Amino acid sequence: MDGARKVMRTYTSSFFIVTRFLPIPKRKKVEAIYAAVRYPDEIVDTFDITKEEKISKLNRWSEYYEKALQSSGIIKQLQEGIPPFIVAFAHVVKENDIPHNYYRAFLNAMVLDADQVLYTTMDDLIDSYVYGSAIVVGYFLAYVYGARTPKDFPQALEASKDLGIALQLTNFMRDVSDDRRRSRLYIPLDILQKAGITPDELFFNFPKEKLRVAINSMVDCAEEYYSKAQSRIEVFSRDCQIAIQACIDVYRQLNHRIRTNDDALSVRQSVPLIDKFKVLPKSKYWRLPLAYLFGT
């Protein structure tokens, strides 16, 4: 779907680049997945509407998903008024036997984002929020990527879980300032406490020196999960390993920039394009101009 590809290209240059190294059929499915998770995320992050209106839109989106699961045929689903991104995603879910509850868990996590929720420990954060916001998205991708052999699939799910957690923690730390403006806090309270910060102090005073200590703890935790995912990369289908490795390498660079850049607390960090190129296979560089010029 061209629209899904455009959404990915617009909102995530890093993931768009690394997915260019997937086989085209799998790449198209990943684009459909991304579009299906991006819209609910935008509802809670950027829509200038009340909390109640956000939850109403999320509930309506959930209803479309359930309707698409029950309805057969893409044309029929579109005629029934189901949004194209949901239609495409539901097709991927059915075709790849992805458990239906994964997307339900994702939408439930988005509902949590419509209000302020505090998490006591890292385990609480992962179990209560990251499972729905990132782990299940990793599971979607595992079903699309496939495993090297059928017996490797459970390990592919574990690797996808670890990578999903790592990516989410990195994104949390990149967005600390933005989340603060939205009255959101994804640093567990015990990590804040060790850094000598209370939630009220973070929201109202923004103690940068103390916050740097807490952020470095989160970055360290993300790095542990990147390492765990890296150790299992060979369990994925061989035609996807280059893209997965590139994803790990690019986001590890972002993790490092968050730790080392003095302005990371006030300026949203990103990996320069030239640095992204350095971790990509040189023999595949020709794909990137085609991707940007022709959308392939």
Domains for the chain: give ranges and CATH numbers.
2-294 (1.10.600.10)
Q: What percent of the chain has pLDDT over 90?
A: 71
pLDDT at 57 over 70: yes
| pTM for the whole structure | 0.91
| 295 pLDDT higher than 70 | no
Asked whether the predicted pLDDT for residue 205 surpasses 90, the reply is: no
pLDDT at 6 over 50: yes
Average pLDDT value for the chain: 90
Distance CA 134, CA 131 (A): 6
Mean pLDDT of the region 152-159: 98
pLDDT tens column, 14-26:
888 888 889 999 9
The DSSP line for the chain is -HHHHHHHHHH-HHHHHHHTTS-HHHHHHHHHHHHHHHHHHHHHHH--S-HHHHHHHHHHHHHHHHHHHH---HHHHHHTT--HHHHHHHHHHHHTT--THHHHHHHHHHHHHTS----SSHHHHIIIIIIIIIIHHHHHHHHHH-BSSGGGHHHHHHHHHHHHHHHHHHHHHHTHHHHHHTT---S-HHHHHHTT--HHHHHHT--HHHHHHHHHHHHHHHHHHHHHHHTTGGGB-HHHHHHHHHHHHHHHHHHHHHHH-TTTTTS-----HHHHHHTS-GGGTTHHHHHHHH--
The residue-averaged pLDDT of 270-281 equals: 75
pLDDT class of 293 with cuts at 50, 70, 90: very low
Query: Among the listed ranges 9-18, 101-110, 122-131, 221-230, which one has the minimum average pLDDT value?
Result: 9-18
Interior/surface letters 267-284, b for 16+ CB within 10 angstroms, e for the rest: eebebeeeebeebbeeee
Question: What mean pLDDT do residues 31-45 have?
Answer: 95
